[in-house]
Structure 1
Amino acid sequence: MEQTIIRHMETVRRITEQTMKNIPEEISDTIPKGFNNNIRWNFGHIAFVQEKIVFGISNEEMNIPKNYELLFSAGTKPTEWEVTPPSFAELAEVLTEQKTRIKNFIPGRLHEKLPTPFTNRGGITFYTVGEAFLFSFYHEALHIETIKRLYRAISSYSGNLQQK
């Protein structure tokens, strides 16, 4: 079952990586009416939250750029950024490298208790590495759907982008 879960993580991340390849970076900072964040923020948020869920709450070293928390943690907004965000190439590299580190970290740890239970902003409490890790798939999928909605909104506004 553990290998099935790891393969599922790879599938979810492959969808994220493919989605990123299909979106022109030059539109990634647009925030259409009705949205709080942009496409770049959502990709960075996926990377930051996955890192926190897998490594951070397990008291393991988080191995992503330090400014990701300031840029991409829950509650942050691109309109409040005071530093230059990473490029799509940098985000893609972080997402790909993160997938490899997770594949090396997770085996044998799904039933491991977290040092302290972790309650997310939605009020859901996780007690094991596996519970948190499985939730991360749902979280990533939610943000991929948001990215697709952002892309459609930008495309319909600009009228010259191909619908994905």
Structure 2
Amino acid sequence: MEQAILKNLRTNHHILSKFIDGYSLEQLNKIPEGFRNNIIWNIGHIIVAQQGLIYRSSDLPIHVTKDMVDKYTNGTVPDGNATQDEVDEIKGLLFSTLDQLEKDLEEGIFEHYNERQTKTGFTISNLEDALVFCSFHEGIHLGMILSIRKFL
């Protein structure tokens, strides 16, 4: 099942990458009326959430900066001023974080998991649950992006 989830995540990241390539910096930053965030925030949030759900909850170091976490963690609101450098960094992290996750899974570095409950009520008890939830979570944010793009 792990390979199917990773395949799903990688496919989703390719879709997200196409949004980055297909929209201008202004469009990626635009927060349409009635929305709390924008396309680039949703993509950055997906990356930060994956790091927290998988690495931090396993008491392992994350592979994104503190600034990235501060800007894209749950509950933050974008300022609509992401730079092209930030967008490029996010695009790179879409794949580098997945590559690292696959490597770390193969190497078996995940020895334990600190159970947690998400805001959606999903209890994540172990690494497999975290991987499943990441896929679900990314689907939610892809849906948000699909809604936002209608207003660009």
- Is TM > 0.5 for Structure 1 vs Structure 2? yes
CA contact (8 A) 1:112 1:128 kept: no
Mean Cα deviation higher: 60-69 or 14-23 = 14-23
Check whether the contact 1:48–1:73 (CA below 8 A) recurs between aligned residues.
yes
TM-score under structure 1 length normalisation: 0.81
Q: 1:128 to 1:96 in 2, by over 3 A?
A: same
Alignment of 1:114-133 (within 5 A): 114=113, 116-133=114-131
Between the aligned partners of 2:86 and 2:148, the Cα distance in structure 1 is 18
Note if contact 2:37-2:77 (Cα within 8 Å) is conserved in structure 1: yes
Would you identify which runs of 4 or more consecutive aligned residues in structure 1 move more than 4 Å?
83-86
Give the corresponding residue for 1:95: 94
**How far apart, CA to CA, are the structure 1 residues paired with 2:123 and 2:4?**
24
The answer to which of 29-38 and 8-17 deviates more is 8-17
**What is the Cα deviation at residue 125 of structure 1?**
1.2
Shift of 1:74: 1.0
User: Could you tell me how far 1:108 is from its partner in structure 2?
Assistant: 7.3
Structure 2 CA distance, aligned partners of 1:41 and 1:8? 21
* TM-score of the superposed pair, with normalisation by structure 2: 0.86
Aligned-pair identity (%) = 24
Q: Which structure has the higher relative contact order (CA within 8 Å, separation 6+)?
A: 2
SS where residue 64 of structure 1 aligns? coil
Say if 1:44 and 1:72, in contact at 8 Å, map to a contact too.
yes
Amino acid at match of 1:92: K
Task: Indicate how the Cα distance of structure 1 residues 106 and 40 shifts in structure 2: closer, same or farther if over 3 A, else same.
Answer: same
Q: Partner of 1:67: helix, strand, or coil?
A: helix
**Alignment gaps of 5+ in structure 2:** none
Displacement of 1:106 = 2.3
Shift of residue 56, structure 1, vs aligned partner: 1.1
Q: How many residues align?
A: 150
Paired letter, 1:68: M
Q: In the aligned structure 2, how far is the partner of 1:42 from the partner of 1:125?
A: 22
Is 1:71 paired with 2:71? yes
Find the counterpart in structure 2 of residue 34 from structure 1. 34
Q: Which one is further off, 22-31 or 56-65? A: 22-31
Displacement of 1:91 in angstroms is 0.7
1:3 to 1:93, Cα distance in 2 relative to 1, 3 A:
same
